[in-house]
Amino acid sequence: MVMDPQTQFEQMKEEAFYSMEGLGRLNPEKLDFYVDYLKFQVEHGFYDGDANLNILKLYQFSPDLITRSSIDNVHLVLAKALMRLPNSDYVFCRAQLSQEMIDDNLTKKIDDIAHCWRPVSFPSSGM
């Protein structure tokens, strides 16, 4: 039986929530689940910032997991967080990145877009 995307998202979100309790949050064996969940979010237009941030934390605390495809996953997380601006999701995600990920060309382009999208505040003129 095929579930509708909303139901599947809710089930995956619940599984992610329970797997992030305590030290389970940093269990590298759960990375495949989180990456599949991220790709599901991208494909179906959903967003779970906590689970996506957890992917970055796993890479941060288990640098041996970092490969070319993991950097692609980082770009997906950043793009999803970027779409939440002006919320602070992008800033939280960006803070988890290693220098290697920050120096990646696509990461720099995503950063450029984020800087362009930041809200601009103008001082009131009193008029």
| In the block, residue with structure tokens 């692609």 | 72
Give per-residue pLDDT as tens, 80-115. 999 988 888 999 999 999 998 999 999 999 999 998
Q: Which of the pair, 44 or 124, is modelled with greater confidence?
A: 44
Q: Greater confidence, 41 or 122? A: 41
Give the pLDDT band (50/70/90) at residue 17: very high
- Tens of pLDDT, residue by residue over 21-30, are 887 788 999 9
Prediction pTM value: 0.86
35-89 pLDDT, tens per residue? 999 999 999 999 999 999 999 999 999 988 888 888 999 999 999 999 988 888 9
